[in-house]
A and B are shown apart, each in its own frame.
Chain A
């Protein structure tokens, strides 16, 4: 999977978690840009992504997650080494 493919696979997860079909995400999207992206939704996103991609994020990685681009890069690193 390329980073672009990971980003488009993340899109329906965001749609589901925020229950918003019109949501738009790109690499620069942060929690401030999305209504309802609080700490609870953040854990939900992480868990949904773990299930979708079959990966597990480390505690330290969760702490350092800054934006969607960083999220994509982390998944990419886990999938493609």
Chain B
């Protein structure tokens, strides 16, 4: 049975669930469910956890409890061509494991066309943020005989994919939702044996072509994939996917026992689109990156590289970590070693990872929980952005106990299985990939160097002047849209309102001729920091006709303390005056994570004003009169394009 094998086992999950039910405080109950969701669990345990969580999340204080537990709410609509009700509890519980409070709305199966092309009041009222189109190979088969030619097959595939494009566009336009398309799992037994793939209209060849066409079209349309066909081909689901008995009995593509895995696969996409994917892979060294102990065995004695199967397996794991770094994952080291000895190991000729790839390198004899805290603070990221990989079960156990926010995969015995295990955990799922991503890890490493430069500079002004910073602000257009949306959705700390938007929504705001939607990049003498800040200012019925509401203002913590916000305000105020605005209205919506910007607007000279009608009560509002010059002292050269 495929399980959530990267999660640790619980000694008695059934008893633990019963104990949570007895907990009277709703926040504590929810937090305990979130913790239990992080253990290996079968579908009955998962369903029981879901019931406990629902009692809290349907209770009177749900909104407060959710916030106290650090959960981000998200609404997912599932439109399917097969029964999916058996999957809903597992989707919600996987959401809790990934820090999301998911509301799931299921449209009766087979109704997806009617609902997306016609009108469905229930779905309108639900206002999904994510729409999953869960289709299967038995749905709407292409009407082709086995003798159909290649051209006939291609035409039929194109027609079908164009129909899907219509559905995606409709979902995006009507709900401004992110669309997720499930690929079609091949379920038909072969007709031709190995010759199957050579016959254009064989059942397998048709599904294979459809999936290829779906992937290309999704890429063009900004649609995400739930690539079930690929996951099935990798064997992640075992034989239970498309089980014929379950299909005939209940029209289930995914059997109940696979629900926890399926739920997690969907929840990680939802988490990624809400900016909750992990950001940093923290690696132990001895017996994790190489075989043996560098302090005892020396650089010539460790197992690494061609020549021994074990040495090759460690190289393979390093290669995998190196690929993650290219996708934008920050690499860090946390090891019990002397720093000099540990760093010298990186001179080994077969090392794939270079010392310069490691943004935070902590090797000492102190406890790892404390060192992980240190790594998070060196990189200015939360503990909940870390994934800790260590071959030592005792270290894993201590870190899980001390720092439940850190993800700690339960590694297999064999190093050869490490890459697959870290991959299976789905910690770093992406919803976009841009050229900036590959440079991100390096940029975190440069930041550590800047910190050293700062301690060496005698005064802060001298340090900032010496950075030779150049800021360029661009109005968000097609080129900036993917990366801007990515930043909107993953920034938690320096984020005034933490509003999450799909590309379509950002585009909608940016296209308003009165709005000012800016993508901001920063360079300095150490290198290019890439896109580091986004501001969305737009007209709003709640503010004056000649005023702009700053709907979103967020910045990467990599450039904190460098007066970038002052420079950004200067740009924003300048553009606003040019377009005839008289004032900027700032909004601050407190979350668990954004305390650092509570004083952002007063620091920039904004005056407090009353909260407009209809706005969230916890939010505070601020006004900057544009007739006076804003106080924007900084040492940054500004370029506007």
- A39-B45 Cα distance, complex, nearest whole Å: 19
CB–CB B14/A43 < 8 A: no
- A20-B269 Cα distance, complex, nearest whole Å: 33
- A39-B85 Cα distance, complex, nearest whole Å: 11
CB–CB B14/A16 < 8 A: yes
A-chain residues with CB within 8 Å of residue B43 when the two chains form the complex = 44, 47-48
CB–CB A43/B246 < 8 A: yes
Question: Is A80 part of the contact surface with B, judged by Cβ < 8 Å?
Answer: no
CB–CB A44/B48 < 8 A: no
A8-43 vs B, Cβ < 8 Å mask (1 yes, 0 no): 000001001101010000000000000000011001
CB–CB B48/A51 < 8 A: no
Contact A48:B44 (CB < 8 A) given known A16-B14, A43-B250: yes
CB–CB B248/A17 < 8 A: no
Question: Out of A13, A16, A17, A62, which one reaches B249, CB within 8 Å?
Answer: A62
The secondary-structure label for the interface of chain A is: helix
B-chain residues with CB within 8 Å of residue A43 when the two chains form the complex = 86, 246, 249-250, 252, 256
B-chain residues with CB within 8 Å of residue A44 when the two chains form the complex = 43-44, 47, 86, 256
A-chain residues with CB within 8 Å of residue B502 when the two chains form the complex = none
- A21-B17 Cα distance, complex, nearest whole Å: 12
- A38-B252 Cα distance, complex, nearest whole Å: 15
A-chain residues with CB within 8 Å of residue B140 when the two chains form the complex = none
The secondary-structure label for the interface of chain B is: helix
CB–CB A17/B44 < 8 A: yes
B-chain residues with CB within 8 Å of residue A16 when the two chains form the complex = 14, 44-45, 48
CB–CB B257/A39 < 8 A: no
Q: In the complex, what's the smallest C-beta–C-beta distance from B587 to chain A, in angstroms?
A: 43
Nearest B-chain residue to A46, judged by Cβ: B249
Q: In the complex, what's the smallest C-beta–C-beta distance from A62 to chain B, in angstroms?
A: 5
- A39-B245 Cα distance, complex, nearest whole Å: 14
Question: Is B1 part of the contact surface with A, judged by Cβ < 8 Å?
Answer: yes
Question: Is A57 part of the contact surface with B, judged by Cβ < 8 Å?
Answer: yes
CB–CB B245/A62 < 8 A: yes
Question: Is A64 part of the contact surface with B, judged by Cβ < 8 Å?
Answer: no
CB–CB B249/A47 < 8 A: no
CB–CB A19/B86 < 8 A: no
Number of A-B contacts (CB under 8 A): 45
A-chain residues with CB within 8 Å of residue B86 when the two chains form the complex = 40, 43-44
Question: Is B255 part of the contact surface with A, judged by Cβ < 8 Å?
Answer: yes
- A27-B14 Cα distance, complex, nearest whole Å: 26
- B1, B18, B47, B51: most-surrounded residue (chain A CB, <10 A): B47
Nearest B-chain residue to A39, judged by Cβ: B250
Q: Which of B250-274 contact A (CB under 8 A)?
A: 250, 252, 255-257
Interface size on A, residues (CB 8 A): 18
Question: Out of A13, A17, A40, A59, which one reaches B245, CB within 8 Å?
Answer: A59
Q: In the complex, what's the smallest C-beta–C-beta distance from B52 to chain A, in angstroms?
A: 9
A-chain residues with CB within 8 Å of residue B250 when the two chains form the complex = 39-40, 43
Q: In the complex, what's the smallest C-beta–C-beta distance from A15 to chain B, in angstroms?
A: 9
Contact A47:B257 (CB < 8 A) given known A39-B250, A62-B245: yes
A-chain residues with CB within 8 Å of residue B256 when the two chains form the complex = 43-44, 47-48
Q: In the complex, what's the smallest C-beta–C-beta distance from A28 to chain B, in angstroms?
A: 24
Nearest A-chain residue to B85, judged by Cβ: A40
- A47-B245 Cα distance, complex, nearest whole Å: 11
CB–CB B255/A47 < 8 A: yes
Contact A59:B257 (CB < 8 A) given known A16-B44, A40-B86, A44-B43: no
Nearest A-chain residue to B52, judged by Cβ: A19
Contact A19:B85 (CB < 8 A) given known A47-B255, A62-B245: no
A-chain residues with CB within 8 Å of residue B246 when the two chains form the complex = 43
Q: In the complex, what's the smallest C-beta–C-beta distance from A44 to chain B, in angstroms?
A: 5
A-chain residues with CB within 8 Å of residue B249 when the two chains form the complex = 43, 46, 59, 62
Nearest A-chain residue to B252, judged by Cβ: A43
Q: In the complex, what's the smallest C-beta–C-beta distance from A45 to chain B, in angstroms?
A: 10
- A77-B220 Cα distance, complex, nearest whole Å: 55
Nearest B-chain residue to A43, judged by Cβ: B250
Contact A51:B257 (CB < 8 A) given known A16-B44, A43-B86, A44-B47: yes
CB–CB B245/A57 < 8 A: yes
- A7-B143 Cα distance, complex, nearest whole Å: 49
- A30-B86 Cα distance, complex, nearest whole Å: 21
Nearest B-chain residue to A44, judged by Cβ: B256
Q: In the complex, what's the smallest C-beta–C-beta distance from B238 to chain A, in angstroms?
A: 13
CB–CB A59/B248 < 8 A: yes
- A1-B248 Cα distance, complex, nearest whole Å: 30
Contact A19:B51 (CB < 8 A) given known A39-B250, A47-B257, A51-B257: yes
B-chain residues with CB within 8 Å of residue A46 when the two chains form the complex = 249
Which 3 residue pairs across A and B have the least CB separation, nearest first?
Answer: A16-B44, A47-B256, A43-B250
Can you list 12 A-B contacts (CB < 8 A)? A13-B44, A16-B48, A19-B51, A43-B86, A43-B246, A44-B86, A44-B256, A47-B255, A48-B44, A59-B248, A59-B249, A62-B249
B→A interface (CB under 8 Å) = 1, 14, 18, 42-45, 47-48, 51, 85-86, 245-246, 248-250, 252, 255-257
Further pairs besides A17-B44, A43-B250, A44-B44: 16, Cβ < 8 Å: A13-B44, A16-B44, A21-B18, A40-B85, A40-B250, A44-B256, A46-B249, A47-B43, A47-B257, A48-B44, A51-B257, A57-B245, A58-B245, A59-B245, A59-B248, A62-B249
